[in-house]
Structure 1
Amino acid sequence: MQNSLLPMPGLSLRPPQAVGMGRGFGFALAAHVLLVVALSLSVQWHSSTPEAFEAELWSAVPQAAAPALTQPEPEPPKPVVEDKPEPPKPNVQELQAQREAEIAIAKAKKREELEAKRLAEIREREKKEKLEKEREAKEAREAKEKQAKLDKAKLEKQEKDKKDKAAKEAEARQEAARKDMLKRLQGLAGATGAADATGTAQQSSGPSAGYAGRIKARIRPNIVFDVGATNPVAEIEVRVAPDGHIISKKLLKPSGDADWDRAVERAIDKTETLPRDIDGRVPPVIVLSLRPRE
């Protein structure tokens, strides 16, 4: 206990505490409060509100009042442009992804263009096929109409041919009856033709059937000509006197081989006289058709 009551060695070196410090602080605070109150009372005593007066002034001559002052309209506030921060630069992966996206978009656009082109070609082909079918249908319709017209014309021609044939047959029957009647009349008048003769004269005036062959047999030995591969035909008109003497000759239709034509003409000149027909007469004009091989 005795040791606890002893003063500590460090405390003995501090200065002693002043006596009456709290009382002095209180007096100073009271003095300041009194000073503030006095100042505020002095300010209120000197300040007072003056009375206001209003007066109107009138001029002897009326005058127009000046226009009221107008304040200019305020300019609209300029938009505040905020400084946008620069976007961050893409890295290699982002650039690669962007490039791949652009390539994919370009490919998709190319596919769309190809698909649109393909659809356009399909529509064009369908249009051409439709036009072709319409053209074929039109041609088939026109061909059918044309065939119908041809069939109708054919039927009309057949009907006409039947009528013409019937008319010709009727005419032929009438002609046969007329000829039969004429033959009977000629037979009664002393005609000299055969039973199957079709002439109307009492005596035949033309050459007989074998007379031309007899004339050719007379002329052919006088022909001098080398027979070749061709067999041309020369047609010659010969005029003869009643006794069979040849008066003149005329080449009606050349054979195309001048040597053969000249050989025939020389042979006729050598023959000089033609034989008589079976009735003892010689036709005044005879037309001969001669060829190298007969």
Structure 2
Amino acid sequence: MGRAWAVAGAAHLVLFLALGLATAWKTQPQTLQAEAELWSAVPQAAAPRLQEPPPPPPEPEPEPEPRREPPAKPSKPAPEPAPDNSLRDAQIALEKKKQEELKKKEAAERQRKAQEKKKKEAEEKAAKDKAEKEKAAKEKALKEKAEQDKKEQDKKKAAEKAKADEKKRQQEQAQKAKQDKADEARAEALRQENLQRMQGMAGASGGPNATGTALKSSGPSASYAGRLVGRIKPNITYPGDVVGNPRAEVEVRVAPDGTITSRRIVQSSGNKAWDDAVLRAIDKTEILPKDTDGRVPPLIVLGFRPSD
């Protein structure tokens, strides 16, 4: 509306200016001169000479140009009659409906995107949970396998230990049986010696505690063997522990002055390390002490036990 009013005002102003300029031109004095020459084909009598016209009256002074009044502002046009709003209302309603449909579409699109995002997140979470479960199951399986392997190894070690203990026990039993057999043999020999001694006691020359069978003692005294063992045993060096109390019997050959000439194991203890330690101790002793009668038996059998 404002632009229309401005255009109308400008058109009226241009019209008033044009009228004013046209009026100013018509107020200027104008001098008109004209000539005419007439010919007639029919001869006619000449008319009397025309009288000279009187001189024209002096020209009136030009009237002053009327003062131009500024063009009057165009009057405000009468308000147009109110148009029919039914069409406008229909357009507004249609536009509003379009906007509502657009908003519904946008809302539906947002909801669809939100659902897709939620679905994607749910799928990612499900995949992550599945991967974690698979990882946990794998770790559990590895742990169970490791525990099973450890149990099997422990079981195998226990079986090996039990086998070794059984073998050791059997060895100890064998050594004990062997030792018991040797003790029985010695006891039987001692019994036979006592029996023989008792049989020859009437003509014997030994002391009250003599255990020999001959009429006269020709062998070493009763304490001589203990003296020899006491002389040799301090020289025994054995680094380990001996299982049980095995006995090693050694045959020693001696010169008349007591020098050891040879030695050999006549009955092993079952422990080679202990047997070797006894032989090294005999070699280290070199010379054996003489008996109470000043003699050294040429052949002596000595027994050594770790705990004796």
TM-score (norm 2): 0.33
